[in-house]
């Protein structure tokens, strides 16, 4: 899945000469948490978050006093974060997830030819995860422990193919107890996975989920 598939292209921007008051207005109006700061060529030169604006705004006690607040007329270049980490629309969404995790970002601007064309937020990343895992499609969840060797994935998926079972998604992660094994996680489009489970067991594979000692498999 590419960044261009999940990014929001309707991006609210401001220039560095705009005021904190204007940023505060747009944050509330559009119910957003970040505003990219761009120059006249639409190049990203900074970013302002709701926290930046909140920290630069008068407190609730000062607001209640009715006094004027000239700090709200300060320009955004005085509080914006710069330089800004950006991504390309042809980057893989699952790869830029590391940026969100390692940098603790809540969003990243998407840039092509040095111009801002979109934004990706934490919510966008979570939605892409839902799509990649197939949890948005009704079906059943199966986890199989397999040896970590070439050709094991088509060997297992062939078992599903014999039952003409549609595989919605496949994930692979390490088996913590023994690095010689992997866990294959399948989301299949059937509410009755019992025939496939029986076939997997007959082929000698170990089922991690559903548990064999349960009364029945969990969808």
d(CA 116, CA 118): 6
Architecture of domain 137-209: 2-Layer Sandwich (3.30)
Could you say which of 3.30.70.60, 3.10.580.10, 2.60.40.420, 3.20.20.70 is the CATH number of the domain covering 3-130?
3.10.580.10
| pLDDT score for 67 | 52
Instruction: Compute the mean pLDDT over every residue in the chain, rounded to the nearest whole number.
Output: 90
CATH 3.30.70.260 domain position(s) in the chain: 137-209
Tokens matching residue 105:
């970002």
pLDDT band at 68 (very low <50, low <70, confident <90, very high): low
What digits encode the pLDDT tens for the residues 100-130? 999 889 999 999 999 999 999 999 999 888 8
Whether the predicted model's global pTM rises above the 0.85 cut: no
CATH 3.10.580.10 domain position(s) in the chain: 3-130
In 3D, which of 30, 18, 146, 158 has the Cα closest to residue 80? 18
| pLDDT score for 73 | 92
In 3D, which of 79, 8, 89, 73 has the Cα closest to residue 47? 79
What digits encode the pLDDT tens for the residues 21-66? 999 999 999 999 999 999 999 999 999 999 999 999 876 545 544 4
């Amino acid at each position: 899945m590419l960044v261009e598939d999940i990014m929001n292209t309707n991006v609210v921007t401001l220039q560095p000469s705009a005021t904190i008051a204007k940023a505060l207005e747009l944050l509330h109006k559009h119910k957003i948490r970040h505003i990219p700061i761009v120059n006249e060529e639409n190049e990203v030169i900074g970013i302002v978050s709701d926290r930046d604006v909140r920290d630069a705004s008068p407190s609730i006690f000062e607001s209640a006093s009715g006094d004027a607040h000239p700090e709200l007329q300060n320009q955004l270049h005085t509080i914006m974060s710069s330089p800004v980490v950006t991504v390309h629309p042809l980057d893989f969404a699952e790869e830029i997830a590391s940026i969100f995790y390692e940098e603790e970002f809540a969003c990243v601007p998407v840039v092509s030819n040095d111009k801002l064309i979109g934004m990706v937020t934490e919510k966008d990343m979570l939605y892409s995860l839902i799509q990649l895992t197939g949890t948005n499609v009704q079906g059943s969840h199966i986890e199989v422990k397999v040896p970590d060797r070439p050709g094991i994935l088509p060997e297992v998926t062939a078992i599903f193919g014999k039952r003409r079972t549609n595989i919605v998604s496949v994930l692979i992660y390490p088996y913590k107890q023994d690095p010689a094994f992997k866990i294959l996680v399948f989301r299949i489009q059937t509410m009755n996975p019992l025939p496939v489970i029986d076939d997997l067991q007959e082929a000698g594979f170990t089922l991690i989920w559903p548990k064999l000692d349960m009364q029945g498999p969990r969808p």
